Amino acid sequence: MKIAVLGAGSAGVLTAGCLLKDFKNCGIELDLTHVYDPNKPILGVGESTTSEVTFAIGQAFDFVFATEKDQLNSTTKYGTQYIDWREKEIIFPFQSGYHAIHFDARDFVKMGMERLEKLYDGYNVLHGNVERVSQSFTDYTNESKGGELTVDGTYYMFDYIIDCRGRPTDFTDYEECNLVLNSALVYDNAEPSDFGFTKHVAHKYGWMFVIPLQHRTSHGFLYNNNFCSKEEAEQELIRITDATDDDTKTFRTFDLTPYYCKKTVNQRLLKNGNSAVFFEPMSANSLYMAIKNVEIFSQYIRGEINGYRANELCILNYRAVEDLINLIYHGGSIYENEFWDWAKKTSSERIEKTDVLKRYVKKQNDEMFKTITERFMGHHVLRYVDQEFEFNYFNRNT
Q: Domain limits of the chain?
A: 2-76+103-173+258-317, 183-255
**CA quadruple 187, 190, 193, 199: dihedral, nearest 10:** 0
Taking Cα atoms as reference points, which of 25, 29, 33, 38 lies closest to residue 6? 33
Helix, strand, or coil (residue 378) = coil
Angle at 264 between CA 310 and CA 260, to 5 degrees: 120
Across the chain, mean pLDDT equals 90
pLDDT in tens, 167-195: 999 999 999 888 999 999 999 999 999 99
The dotted CATH code for 2-76+103-173+258-317 is 3.50.50.60
Using an 8 Å Cβ cutoff, are 291 and 53 in contact? yes
Compute the average pLDDT of residues 32-38.
96
CA distance 179 to 182: 8
Listed in sequence order, the DSSP H helices in 121-211 are: none
pLDDT of 363: 61
pLDDT in tens, 132-146: 999 888 766 778 889
Q: Any bridge partners for residue 188, and if so which?
A: 218
Lowest mean pLDDT among 224-233, 333-342, 381-390: 381-390
CA distance 148 to 246: 48
Using an 8 Å Cβ cutoff, are 343 and 352 in contact? no
CA distance 176 to 339: 21
Helix, strand, or coil (residue 9) = coil
CA distance 101 to 54: 6
Q: Is the pLDDT of residue 275 over 90?
A: yes
Q: Kindly give the pairing relationship between strand 259-261 and strand 174-176.
A: antiparallel
The amino acid at 385 = V
Residue 309 backbone phi and psi in degrees, to 5: -65, -40
Prediction pTM value:
0.93
Q: Is the pLDDT of residue 377 over 70?
A: no
pLDDT of 156: 97
